[in-house]
Structure 1
Amino acid sequence: MLSAIVHEVAHGWVALRCGDATAKEAGRLTLDPRAHLDGFGSVVLPLVMALLGGPVFAFARPVPYDPRRLRHPRRDELLVALAGPASNVLQALVGALVLRAAWDPLLGAVVSGAAPFEVVSWVVTILSTYVSVNLVLCFFNLIPLPPLDGSKVVLYFLTGDARRAYYQIQQYAMPILVVALYIVPQLLHVDPIGRYLDATAGSLYGLLLGGL
């Protein structure tokens, strides 16, 4: 949820830089969880998904913004959309740098007996999970289906009939996600979103933390 909150604040901060102060006026440019947590998306949804045994994810309340207040609406909407995933990449980089910098001292502490193995293992697990979660959040949000950020990226490149056709597809976005996340893997034993995340988030995770 920390990563998701930073993701949402990044959207609002870039919108502010582009002329739209809606998020600031709503009190959403803060890391205080109380301003961002969503009863369904932050609590109920991840619990239900865990009980179903499939992929588990959660989301914070989307930060509001008004495209009419953006100085260059077409360009700035794309920048606002990309700000969230970009913030997750930055968080993953920070987590990876911290873990790499701490790796040798942590191992040395275990060998010397200065720190219990369980404590060091706990620290490594938290940092590596932080990297992994942020990479998954980045690339999952780039899937081109609303309300995910990837839908705004796709719209930037569409005009005319193609744009109208995409708007028609948007109404089926959530059913498509549910089918791809749960039904296709169960019935066809093929996990398209899992493969996509392995190829993107998984590969980048390997580049950042490979060798540790």
Structure 2
Amino acid sequence: MSIQQGIIYIVVLMFAITIHESAHGWAAYKKGDPTAYSLGRITLNPIPHIDPIGTIALPLLLVIMGAPPFGWAKPVPVNPMNLKDPRKDNLIISAAGPLANIGFAFIAIVILKLFKAAVLGMTTASPAAANMISGVYMVLYSLVIVNVILAVFNLLPIPPLDGSGILMGFLSPENARKYEMLQPYGFFILIILIMTGLIGRLIGFILQILHMII
């Protein structure tokens, strides 16, 4: 991966994470919890969402290793006391982030296909135009890859990822309480999955599917 590609991936990841966390905050606000709104977490400014490890250290390490970056942001705070139906509403709030990323990935795929069709219709291009075309393609491609990987990664049913919140919405109250006991160990489980290469295999599988689509 070139330096230019690495920079594009990091910038796109910052954008994707910002959209992801803002979607959580917006969903919580719509469900009656103003906590994220009052803390300034419903914003397109990435700074309030940054987590030193998940937003900076891990993505940089992956880029250095030549892999597409993924990670996580500082979780948006949600006060269940403000929700009318905490179990159902938390499921919706948890799903809002991945759904926002999938939505942006879909839009990027449509634009990318239209862009490719327009480029194929060109007969000649100057070196400057060719560089611009390459840059635009790389940004659109990165938007697809990063948003999909971020969505799938966060859908893993491991606390504190969104998948755990979604799963708890379908569990009985008793089973949800038992499942919640995994919360203190979630980070270590993620580290093990990353170190053993299981997350890498999942990402590789996702990339194969995306390459067939785009």
Normalising to structure 2: TM-score of the pair? 0.82
Quick check: 50-59 or 60-69, which moved more? 50-59
1:102 aligns with 2:115: yes
**Which residue does the alignment assign to 1:141?**
154
Counterpart residue identity of residue 124, structure 2? S
Cα displacement (A) at 1:199: 4.3
Hey, what's the Cα distance between the residues in 2 that align with 1:169 and 1:120?
A: 47
Quick check: 156-165 or 12-21, which moved more? 156-165
The answer for unaligned runs of 5 or more in structure 2 is: 1-13
**Which residue does the alignment assign to 1:169?**
182
**Which residue does the alignment assign to 1:194?**
200
- Identical positions, percent: 37
Hey, what's the Cα distance between the residues in 2 that align with 1:52 and 1:122?
A: 22
**Which residue does the alignment assign to 2:167?**
154
Q: Is the 8 A contact 1:3 1:88 kept in 2?
A: yes
Cα displacement (A) at 1:120: 1.3
Q: Is the 8 A contact 2:101 2:151 kept in 1?
A: yes
Hey, what's the Cα distance between the residues in 2 that align with 1:195 and 1:45?
A: 17
1:17 aligns with 2:30: yes
Cα displacement (A) at 1:54: 7.2
Distance change in 2, residues 1:20/1:98 (3 Å): same
Cα displacement (A) at 1:208: 4.0
Q: Is the 8 A contact 2:159 2:182 kept in 1?
A: no
- Please list, as runs of the form range in 1=range in 2, the aligned pairs for 1:1-212 lying within 5 A after superposition: 1-49=14-62, 56-109=69-122, 111-113=123-125, 116-159=129-172, 162-182=175-195, 184-185=196-197, 192-200=198-206, 202-203=208-209, 205-206=210-211, 208-209=213-214
Q: Is the 8 A contact 2:35 2:77 kept in 1?
A: yes
Task: Give the secondary-structure state (helix, strand or coil) at the position aligned to 2:182.
Answer: helix
Residue by residue, what CA displacement relative to the aligned partner does 1:4-28 show, whole Å, maximum 9, x if unpaired?
A: 1000000011111111111111112
Counterpart residue identity of residue 60, structure 2? L
Q: Is the 8 A contact 2:108 2:143 kept in 1?
A: yes
Hey, what's the Cα distance between the residues in 1 that align with 2:106 and 2:84?
A: 31
Q: Is the 8 A contact 1:55 1:181 kept in 2?
A: no
**Which residue does the alignment assign to 1:188?**
none
Cα RMSD of the aligned pairs, angstroms, is 2.4
